[in-house]
């Protein structure tokens, strides 16, 4: 009751203060306004309804004014008694600190939570769908937006997050909406920052511990110019990617050598970065290899998808320069964005990555010394020479259709029992990896006999499927997976498998041909229209109706590019099928390394 009376007293005092302010403001108004303006004010005051409205308006604005004043002073005074650290989204620390906060026990005072689903890490021995009951994700709760109180080592820590508001850019275009960055602030009472610094350090250490021995894959979202997503996963085993003989070892030693050559580059004044272009048909292991390589070298992968909407040159530049240390930068399907632009498929503001933007970004990677950039494409012929010139792209490697080494490797990978390692025992890169656990000798003997049989099957497979069949490792993966429980069915299933691939290829080729025909028709139609316009103009000039100008309105080059783009707009991935038709292999020139043939135009600095 006492408190109520006190509060009421405070309220009356405030009202009296506001009233005093109004009286003072009124007398000031009278002295400053001209007589005419004063007459208007008096007119309003003379009218009961208007004067009541005017009075309410003054009360309202005074209330807002005084409230802001009080809150401002309160915040100012309060800030003298606590210390805080603020972290903005976009910095890696934001995620680390968020995880740290999520791991604290939630106090009862926290009434607004955020929740996310987290799946248990893949355990390779786990049979997910074994006993019918579907596995469920874990629900992880964390304090939601707003301010919350947590306890750490007995100290009261206040955590506040601001929620993301969507802001419109100047032209108010929906496509140009930018997400306001979130921030997280931790604060505590006192003048000593050491507790907060300790928390930040702890958050970082915990994150590094979690990531140890794993591959973190960073990516981004439309409109973001920072690495907004990250996923940490068990590294893909390097031996699980099966490439043409010698190619994996060659690439690994190239990168390893590069990573040891910082001084060599500096001494010669060469920018310390290395670019690789992996090209070839879809499903030949380009991405898988890069992810496995990163795991093997204990590096992160930062994936830039140039084809996504809402991504422009500036963002690309910022992203490449802010990649977390020790990362492989991966620009996937590097041709796709540029092809879309040429085909006129991209609207202004939707996707503004330009060739010059990509070139500048690649040249301007300054923040990171020792950058390793990988680009992948299915269409090397469509890339601008400037993009793949040495210095930007130092090694260009063809990931071709499977050769004998890969066909055998894929077959053994899916069929061998785990007792015989389940992996290619000849793979030199497997040295030092964990050996399979000991098993019963009888069981071992049974599995050895089984594996000997699998090796025989692999020999037969290699006689029936050859490089000439233009089969990708992804297709082999699907085929062997289907038969992994019954190797005996494989050999007789091969003709059907090859028939299916040929049928698929023919369908894609004819679709592509159709697109090309359409593009040619379009080009011819435009040329005819242009010719008509030109003839009409010439006729008018001849008749003296208009004067000849030197203005160049001939857009032939552009038209041609557009037509080309239209031809490839569907991006059917069939170029390689067409190239290999008749020849049985890619038409791109091949070079022999370690007895294996793969295309490599290398540049050694």
Ligand X SMILES: Nc1ncnc2c1ncn2[C@@H]1O[C@H](COP(=O)(O)OP(=O)(O)OP(=O)(O)O)[C@@H](O)[C@H]1O
Q: How many CB atoms within 10 Å of residue 258? A: 20
Question: What is the rounded distance in angstroms from the CA atom of residue 523 to the CA atom of residue 517?
Answer: 10
- For position 243 contacting ligand X by CB under 6 A, the verdict is yes
Q: Which residues ranging from 523 to 582 are in contact with ligand X (CB under 6 A)?
A: none
* Only segment of 473-481, 533-541, 562-570, 583-591 that touches ligand X (CB under 6 A): 473-481
Which residue of 203, 241, 247, 416 would you call a contact of ligand X, by CB under 6 A?
241
**Closest C-alpha to 412, from 595, 237, 239:** 239
CB 178 within 8 A of CB 225: no
Smallest separation (angstroms) from ligand X to the CB of 411:
12
Which one, 220 or 284, has the nearer CB to ligand X? 284
Smallest separation (angstroms) from ligand X to the CB of 573:
7
Which one, 405 or 523, has the nearer CB to ligand X? 405
- Residue number of the CB closest to ligand X reads 285
Which one, 243 or 490, has the nearer CB to ligand X? 243
Smallest separation (angstroms) from ligand X to the CB of 542:
55
Output the six-digit token pair for 447: 């599995």
Smallest separation (angstroms) from ligand X to the CB of 443:
28
Which one, 289 or 311, has the nearer CB to ligand X? 289
Which one, 93 or 243, has the nearer CB to ligand X? 243
Smallest separation (angstroms) from ligand X to the CB of 399:
6
- For position 176 contacting ligand X by CB under 6 A, the verdict is no
Q: Can you point out the beta strands (E) in 389-492? A: 395-398
Question: What is the rounded distance in angstroms from the CA atom of residue 302 to the CA atom of residue 328?
Answer: 6
Distance of CA 396 to the CA centre of its chain: 23
Q: Which residues ranging from 266 to 285 are in contact with ligand X (CB under 6 A)?
A: 282-285
* Only segment of 118-126, 238-246, 345-353, 420-428 that touches ligand X (CB under 6 A): 238-246
Site string for ligand X, 501-520 (x = CB under 6 A): --------------------
Smallest separation (angstroms) from ligand X to the CB of 429:
13
Which one, 307 or 487, has the nearer CB to ligand X? 307
Which residue of 85, 359, 462, 474 would you call a contact of ligand X, by CB under 6 A?
474
CB 169 within 8 A of CB 176: yes
**Closest C-alpha to 250, from 302, 289, 300, 299:** 289
Output the six-digit token pair for 332: 């996937």
Which residue of 176, 477, 509, 602 would you call a contact of ligand X, by CB under 6 A?
477
Smallest separation (angstroms) from ligand X to the CB of 264:
31
Question: What is the rounded distance in angstroms from the CA atom of residue 400 to the CA atom of residue 470?
Answer: 8
> How many chain residues touch ligand X (CB under 6 A)?
16
Site string for ligand X, 380-419 (x = CB under 6 A): -------------------x--------------------
Which residue of 286, 340, 405, 483 would you call a contact of ligand X, by CB under 6 A?
286
DSSP 323-379: PPSSEEEEEETHHHHHHHHHTT-SPTTTEE--HHHHHHHHHT--S-TTEEEEEEES-
**Closest C-alpha to 247, from 273, 299, 283, 285:** 285
Q: Can you point out the beta strands (E) in 15-97? A: 82-88
Q: Which residues ranging from 325 to 384 are in contact with ligand X (CB under 6 A)?
A: 376, 378
Question: What is the rounded distance in angstroms from the CA atom of residue 591 to the CA atom of residue 247?
Answer: 12
* Only segment of 240-248, 314-322, 457-465, 513-521 that touches ligand X (CB under 6 A): 240-248
Question: What is the rounded distance in angstroms from the CA atom of residue 210 to the CA atom of residue 557?
Answer: 54
**Closest C-alpha to 598, from 256, 248, 275:** 248
Question: What is the rounded distance in angstroms from the CA atom of residue 416 to the CA atom of residue 595?
Answer: 26
DSSP count for the chain of H helices, then E strands: 17, 19
* Only segment of 73-81, 239-247, 501-509, 530-538 that touches ligand X (CB under 6 A): 239-247
Which one, 285 or 487, has the nearer CB to ligand X? 285
Which one, 177 or 430, has the nearer CB to ligand X? 430
Which residue of 203, 242, 397, 412 would you call a contact of ligand X, by CB under 6 A?
242
Smallest separation (angstroms) from ligand X to the CB of 287:
3
Which residue of 95, 188, 228, 287 would you call a contact of ligand X, by CB under 6 A?
287
DSSP 277-312: EEESSTTSSHHHHHHHHHHHTT-EEEEEETTSSSEE
* Only segment of 235-243, 252-260, 342-350, 532-540 that touches ligand X (CB under 6 A): 235-243
Smallest separation (angstroms) from ligand X to the CB of 499:
21
**Closest C-alpha to 149, from 136, 140, 158, 141:** 158
User: What is the DSSP-derived secondary structure letter of residue 17?
Assistant: H
- For position 473 contacting ligand X by CB under 6 A, the verdict is yes
Which one, 204 or 474, has the nearer CB to ligand X? 474
Which one, 94 or 497, has the nearer CB to ligand X? 497
Smallest separation (angstroms) from ligand X to the CB of 592:
19
Smallest separation (angstroms) from ligand X to the CB of 412:
12
Question: What is the rounded distance in angstroms from the CA atom of residue 592 to the CA atom of residue 68?
Answer: 76
Smallest separation (angstroms) from ligand X to the CB of 450:
22
Smallest separation (angstroms) from ligand X to the CB of 374:
11
Which residue of 215, 288, 300, 368 would you call a contact of ligand X, by CB under 6 A?
288
User: What is the DSSP-derived secondary structure letter of residue 172?
Assistant: -
Smallest separation (angstroms) from ligand X to the CB of 395:
16
Which one, 223 or 414, has the nearer CB to ligand X? 414
* Only segment of 126-134, 340-348, 451-459, 469-477 that touches ligand X (CB under 6 A): 469-477
CB 94 within 8 A of CB 161: no
From residue 199, alpha-carbon distances to 7, 105, 129, 141, 263 in Å are 40, 15, 41, 20, 37
Across 13-22, b (16+ Cβ under 10 Å) vs e yields eeeeebeeee
Across 584-595, b (16+ Cβ under 10 Å) vs e yields ebbebebeebee
Smallest separation (angstroms) from ligand X to the CB of 340:
17
Interface residues toward ligand X, by CB under 6 A? 241-243, 282-288, 376, 378, 399, 473-474, 477
């Amino acid at each position: 009751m006492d408190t109520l009376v006190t509060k009421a007293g405070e309220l009356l005092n405030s009202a009296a203060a506001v009233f005093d302010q109004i009286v003072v403001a009124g007398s000031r108004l009278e002295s400053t306004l001209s007589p005419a303006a004063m007459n208007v004010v008096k007119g309003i005051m003379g009218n009961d309804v208007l004067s009541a409205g005017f009075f309410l308006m003054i009360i309202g604005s005074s209330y807002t004014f005084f409230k802001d004043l009080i809150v401002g002073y309160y915040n100012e005074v309060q800030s003298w008694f606590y210390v805080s650290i603020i972290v903005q989204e976009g910095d890696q620390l934001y995620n680390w600190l968020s995880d740290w906060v999520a791991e604290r026990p939630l106090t009862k005072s926290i009434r607004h939570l955020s929740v996310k689903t987290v799946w248990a890490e893949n355990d390779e021995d786990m049979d997910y769908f074994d006993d019918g009951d579907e596995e469920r994700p874990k629900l992880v709760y964390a304090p939601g937006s707003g301010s919350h109180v947590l306890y750490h080592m007995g100290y009261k820590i206040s955590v506040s997050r601001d929620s993301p508001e969507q802001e419109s850019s100047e032209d108010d275009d929906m496509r140009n909406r930018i997400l306001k960055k979130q921030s997280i602030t931790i604060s505590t009472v006192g003048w000593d920052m050491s507790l907060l610094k300790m928390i930040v350090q702890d958050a970082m250490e915990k994150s590094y511990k979690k990531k140890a021995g794993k591959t973190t894959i960073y990516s981004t979202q439309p409109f973001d110019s920072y690495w907004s997503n990250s996923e940490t996963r068990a590294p893909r085993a390097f031996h699980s990617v099966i490439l043409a003989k010698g190619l994996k070892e060659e690439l690994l030693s190239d990168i390893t050598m590069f990573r040891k050559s910082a001084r060599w580059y500096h001494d010669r004044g060469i920018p310390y970065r290395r670019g690789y272009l992996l090209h070839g048909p879809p499903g030949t292991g380009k991405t898988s290899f890069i992810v496995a390589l990163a795991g093997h070298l204990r590096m992160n992968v930062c994936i830039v998808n140039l084809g996504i909407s809402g991504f422009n040159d500036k963002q690309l530049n910022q992203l490449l320069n802010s990649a977390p240390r020790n990362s492989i930068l991966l620009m996937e399907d590097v041709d796709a964005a540029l092809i879309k632009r040429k085909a006129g498929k991209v609207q202004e503001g939707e996707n503004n990555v330009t060739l010059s933007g990509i070139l500048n970004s690649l040249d301007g990677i300054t923040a990171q010394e020792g950058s390793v950039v990988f680009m992948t494409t299915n269409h090397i012929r469509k890339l601008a020479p400037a993009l793949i010139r040495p210095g930007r792209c130092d090694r260009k490697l063809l990931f071709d259709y499977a050769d004998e080494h890969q066909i055998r490797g894929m077959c053994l990978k899916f069929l061998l029992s785990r007792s015989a390692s389940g992996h290619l025992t000849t793979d030199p890169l497997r040295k030092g990896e964990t050996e399979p656990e000991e098993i019963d000798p009888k069981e071992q003997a049974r599995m050895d006999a089984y594996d000997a049989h699998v090796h025989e099957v692999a020999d037969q497979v290699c006689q029936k499927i050859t490089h000439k069949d233009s089969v990708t490792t992804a297709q082999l993966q699907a085929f062997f997976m289907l038969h992994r429980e019954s190797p005996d069915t494989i050999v007789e299933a091969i003709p059907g498998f090859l028939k299916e691939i040929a049928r698929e290829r023919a369908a894609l080729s004819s679709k592509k041909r159709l697109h090309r025909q359409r593009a040619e028709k379009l080009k011819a139609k435009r040329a005819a229209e242009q010719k008509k316009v030109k003839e009409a103009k010439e006729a008018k000039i001849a008749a003296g109706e208009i004067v000849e100008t030197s203005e160049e309105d001939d857009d032939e080059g552009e038209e041609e590019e557009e037509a080309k783009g239209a031809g490839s707009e569907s991006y059917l991935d069939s170029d390689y099928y067409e190239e290999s038709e008749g020849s049985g292999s890619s038409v791109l020139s091949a070079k022999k390394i370690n007895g294996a043939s793969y295309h490599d135009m290398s540049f050694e600095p």
